[in-house]
Amino acid sequence: MIGFEIHARQRAVSAEVAQRFAAIPVANISDVMSRMAAGGTRLRPMHDGTVMSGPALTVKTRPGDNLMVHKALGMAQPGDVIVVDAGGDLTNAIIGELMAGYAQTRKIGGIVINGAIRDAGALRRSSLPVYAAGVTHRGPYKDGPGEINCAIALDGMVIQPGDLVIGDEDGLLCIPYDQVESVYQAAAAKHAAEEKTVADIAAGKLDTSWIDARLSQLGCVIHTR
């Protein structure tokens, strides 16, 4: 039935790839992706700050219903990130402490909810990465419909099953399966360059000559008196 289906995931990034990305800030990765990909500023970390990196197991559900999320929890492999498009609605929570606790026992890599969560205090103290758009005490329904392992979109960012989903305190990002290696190489170089800048700042050696050069290039007139 259209809109009420469970698909098999055909491919997924490896645990080794996910681990490599976990050492690079999401902001650096975003920069090398031309700053054009983002899951939306509403999706904020609801946990203790642990970094998230793993292959996407996608879920699309109607707002306020978590039947398919329960099914996805049982299907997920260790390290998977369950990404749920619940329409961004904040009326009913899609997950809470109990489901998050179950996810931890299954060694799931994280949960992203384009919707609301509840039991915010317990999730905030937890090391399980959880990103959501809001918090409400109102619980979910369990009637469906929904789909598992289908293409979803969060604020315009398309996520296919098996794509790499990463997140830190700045937010989250999806890297398409076919682009993970090229993005990693560029992001690692960007991170190394920023670490050198940090060291230059600490040593009082930061080169800021580019600022005046850029202003000149743009035609800015600088009056000295």
pLDDT tens digits, one per residue of 80-107: 999 999 999 999 999 999 999 999 999 9
Domains, the chain, with CATH or none:
4-177 (3.50.30.40)
CA distances for 82 relative to 47, 126, 152, 157, angstroms: 15, 16, 12, 15
Q: How far apart are the first and last CA of the chain?
A: 74
Binding-site residue ranges:
96-99, 118-119
| Residue-wise pLDDT tens digits, 122-166 | 999 999 999 999 999 999 999 999 999 999 999 999 999 999 999
**pLDDT at residue number 151:** 97
- Residue in this structure with the two tokens 């992706």, named with its chain if needed: 33
Answer yes or no: is pLDDT of 6 > 80. Answer: yes
Binding-site residue ranges for substrate:
96-99, 118
Q: Is this structure's pTM higher than 0.75?
A: yes
Answer yes or no: is pLDDT of 61 > 90. Answer: yes
The values of phi and psi at residue 75, to 5°, are: -85, -25
Rounded mean pLDDT of 183-211?
95
Binding-site residue ranges for Mg(2+):
119
The values of phi and psi at residue 57, to 5°, are: -115, 110
Q: Is 82 in contact with 103 (CB distance < 8 Å)?
A: yes
- Helix ranges restricted to H, the chain: 15-21, 26-32, 67-75, 97-105, 120-124, 180-203, 209-217
Give residue 39's pLDDT band: very low, low, confident or very high (50, 70, 90). Answer: confident
